[in-house]
Amino acid sequence: MPPEPASSPDRAGDLIAAFTGHLRATGRADDRHYERAAECFFERWPDPALWAAQPLAARLAARTRTRMLVTFLMLHGHLQPGYDYLIARRFISLWRELAASPLRNDMERFVAATRELGFADTVARGAGSLVAARLLIQTGKPLPELTAHDLDEFEVALGERDHRTHRPSAHYRRMLFTTRSTLYHLGILNRPPVLRPPRQRQTFAERLAKAGVPAAILPSFVAYVERLQATHAYSTICGTVTHLGFFGRHLASVDPGISSLAELDRRRHIETYLTVTARATRARGGGPISIEEQRQRIITINCLLNDIGHWGWPEAPPRRLVFPKDIPRRPQPLPRYLPVDEDRRLTDALRRSPRTLAAHALLLARATGIRIGELIDLELDCVHEIPAQGAWLKVPLGKLKTERMVPLDDDTVAIVDRIVEVRSPGLPLPHPRHGRRVEFLLTHHGKRVTDYTLRRELQRAASQAGLSPIVPHH
């Protein structure tokens, strides 16, 4: 319900009386000065909505006593000051004021739910004050009635603040993501939050032009990248743009007058690029680039030429220019196992780790031999007790597209029990493969643990154990 307009003298008098009564109830001194500030406010703006319609600079210029009145009106449902004001202003005494406001119960419920997801108290209160409280104030809704649209409007306001101040609202955005997670696990939002790709400082066209791609073929590169956006992940597109930039810069050096990709020649353009790629060095340190980087630079060009040829683009070269033998082969050494003493030191480091969830997940992988992708896909009910055969771990579909059962001993079952104790609770999450909601075993802060988190913990434990970097396949 929108707040009742305070356009009548009686209504204004009631609000002034409620404000001064609130001050006395909360132990504030100098009530007469605050009362006079409130009287001046309502003499100028009989309806608080008239104050909210003022330019942002005018609203922010209010004096301390007027700000106290504005805070009271907001928290008691008499004023919706706009997200621009709510985001721009620092409410130092917000939690003290919330304790004596109608928003108290909703805020306590929000903070408690955020803590249950494993967030620290400072994060829970930060998300509550920076996002949840401001949403409740501006929408005038109770917590259970908030919608995804309300949070989207808040995010739009953050973008407008970024544009206005020329400073990114990184802290606000982190708290907004936390708020979305909490509201999802409270059953208020239908979908969990999704990590969005970072905003680009430059467009793909600007990046390619800056890399030195000839102007005549730049539109073809840009059109190709835009076409890939319909079917490829953002990170893949970024890598493609980088590799196209290397090729475009090479074309500019060997053939500045090139006017179309249709003019590409195997000997003049491709073979010289293969040579340059084999001799390429890193920007940092000056060492040679890896075989994997060489492969990606050549594979990207091969995909470009094959794709535009299949799509029938007029700028496609008339014949094939890149062949499988042009792509460097990866070395294929046999995996190196960990000697017994190194394995013991690594295991001890994981057991002592303060990052209990990730460390015990790695210990589970060590005990069962499952891959890291299978590990993060394990479900909460992955342990099955089979009569007369003991406990077994159900390993979900993974790299080999097969499910299997792995026998567990008592020590490994204890590892699973420990993971269950420290994982964050919450509602089931959509499975990335089929979209159905699943209770995953490895969850932290209301979302799935990533393979990056596990790999980082493995390297940290290896370093602590005095070992060289290792990979999960060891």
Instruction: For 322-369, write each residue's pLDDT tens digit.
Output: 999 999 988 876 667 788 899 899 999 999 999 999 999 999 999 998
Residue 384 backbone phi and psi in degrees, to 5: -120, 130
The tokens describing 413, both together, are: 């079952």
Cα–Cα distance, 350 to 362 (Å, whole number): 8
Rg of the Cα trace of the chain?
Answer: 30
The tokens describing 75, both together, are: 């928290």
Say what the pLDDT of residue 178 is: 95
Cβ pair 392, 383 in contact under 8 A? yes
Confidence of residue 159 (pLDDT cuts 50, 70, 90): very high
Cβ pair 200, 237 in contact under 8 A? no
Cβ pair 342, 467 in contact under 8 A? yes
Nearest partner of 263 among 341, 339, 347, 319, judged by Cα:
319
Q: Which range in 212-226, 325-339, 385-399 is most confidently predicted, on average pLDDT? A: 212-226
Residue 357 backbone phi and psi in degrees, to 5: -60, -55
Cα angle 174-178-181, degrees, rounded to a multiple of 5: 140
The tokens describing 235, both together, are: 């990170």
pLDDT at 6 over 50: no
Helix (H/G/I), strand (E/B), else coil: 379: strand
Instruction: For 51-71, write each residue's pLDDT tens digit.
Output: 999 999 999 998 888 999 999
Type of residue found at 115: R
Confidence of residue 235 (pLDDT cuts 50, 70, 90): confident
Instruction: For 184-194, write each residue's pLDDT tens digit.
Output: 999 999 999 87
The count of residues in the chain is 474
Helix (H) or strand (E) holding 442: none
Say what the pLDDT of residue 5 is: 47
Quickly list H helices, 26-147: 31-44, 48-52, 56-60, 64-75, 83-88, 94-98, 104-116, 121-127, 133-139
pLDDT at 283 over 90: no
Cα–Cα distance, 84 to 52 (Å, whole number): 10
Q: At the top level of CATH, which class does the domain 340-464 belong to?
A: mainly alpha
Cα–Cα distance, 173 to 358 (Å, whole number): 25
The tokens describing 243, both together, are: 């590799």
* Cα dihedral sign, 235-237-241-246: positive
Nearest partner of 374 among 349, 407, 400, 350, judged by Cα:
400
- The answer for residues whose C-beta is within 8 angstroms of residue 29's C-beta and 6 or more apart is none
Helix (H/G/I), strand (E/B), else coil: 412: helix
Cα–Cα distance, 243 to 296 (Å, whole number): 8
Say what the pLDDT of residue 474 is: 45
Query: Could you count the other beta carbons within 10 Å of the beta carbon of residue 281?
Result: 10
Say what the pLDDT of residue 3 is: 47
Say what the pLDDT of residue 234 is: 82
Instruction: For 69-117, write each residue's pLDDT tens digit.
Output: 999 999 999 999 999 999 999 888 888 888 889 999 999 999 999 999 9
Cα–Cα distance, 18 to 268 (Å, whole number): 83
Helix (H/G/I), strand (E/B), else coil: 232: coil
Instruction: For 439-468, write each residue's pLDDT tens digit.
Output: 999 999 989 999 989 999 999 999 999 988
Beta bridge partners of residue 391, listed in sequence order: 385, 408
Confidence of residue 29 (pLDDT cuts 50, 70, 90): low
Percent with pLDDT over 90 in the chain = 67
pLDDT at 196 over 80: no
pLDDT at 398 over 70: no
Quickly list H helices, 186-230: 204-211, 218-228
Give ranges for CATH 1.10.443.10 in the chain.
Answer: 340-464
Cα–Cα distance, 264 to 385 (Å, whole number): 63
Cα–Cα distance, 192 to 440 (Å, whole number): 14
Percent with pLDDT over 70 in the chain = 94
* Cα dihedral sign, 389-393-397-400: negative
Cβ pair 95, 129 in contact under 8 A? yes
Beta bridge partners of residue 395, listed in sequence order: 404
- Of 30-39, 215-224, 408-417, the range with the lowest mean pLDDT is 30-39
Say what the pLDDT of residue 468 is: 83
DSSP state of 318: S
Query: Could you count the other beta carbons within 10 Å of the beta carbon of residue 81?
Result: 22
Confidence of residue 173 (pLDDT cuts 50, 70, 90): very high
pLDDT at 259 over 90: yes
Say what the pLDDT of residue 1 is: 44
Cα–Cα distance, 273 to 250 (Å, whole number): 7
Cα–Cα distance, 441 to 453 (Å, whole number): 15
pLDDT at 278 over 70: yes
What is the mean pLDDT of the segment spanning 291-299? 94
Cβ pair 361, 374 in contact under 8 A? no
Helix (H/G/I), strand (E/B), else coil: 184: helix
Confidence of residue 201 (pLDDT cuts 50, 70, 90): low
Helix (H) or strand (E) holding 287: none
